[in-house]
Amino acid sequence: MIVIRQATVLDVPLILRFIRDLAVYEQLLSEVSATEERLRATLFPPDGRPAAECLLAFWQDAPAGFAVFFQNYSTFLAQPGLYLEDLFVEPALRRRGIGKALLRHCATLANTRGCGRMEWAVLDWNEPAKGFYRKLGAAEMDAWRICRLTGPALQRYS
């Protein structure tokens, strides 16, 4: 049985574990600088305005996966959107509907919150994920490329 619930501050160690597991899968572990302290400060800040939200999935009471998302905005639609930053299911628990349940839960939240769209990025080599998203009705936006300023390139403008 799949259970999905909103993460709480007590789940921060589990969230960090999932982030690291996802990074291992994506061959990007060296890029992870997240810590429990930083996750607490950004996901569960004292002012009550989190930078993102996190859903946790459980399979037969065992932690199975997570989804991290935040609100963005579409000027063309003049509506908020939901951006899915990360979706991960433990490899041993895949093909049980957990990823689909997490994605559907996010889509339901997007609809409930009046969002005009839900978006995410997928690595070009990740064919299993791309196939999974296509089966759910998602369209790849081939004409769009992600641009990023980070580290020294971003700090140059401080």
Would you please indicate which residues are annotated as catalytic (active-site) residues?
Answer: 133
Q: In terms of Cα–Cα distance, which of 28, 19, 27 is closest to 85? A: 19
Strands 62-74 and 53-59: antiparallel
Beta bridge partners of 73: 80
CA distance 35 to 100: 28
> Is the Cα torsion angle 32, 33, 37, 43 positive or negative in sign?
negative
CA distance 20 to 22: 5
Distance of CA 141 to the CA centre of its chain: 18
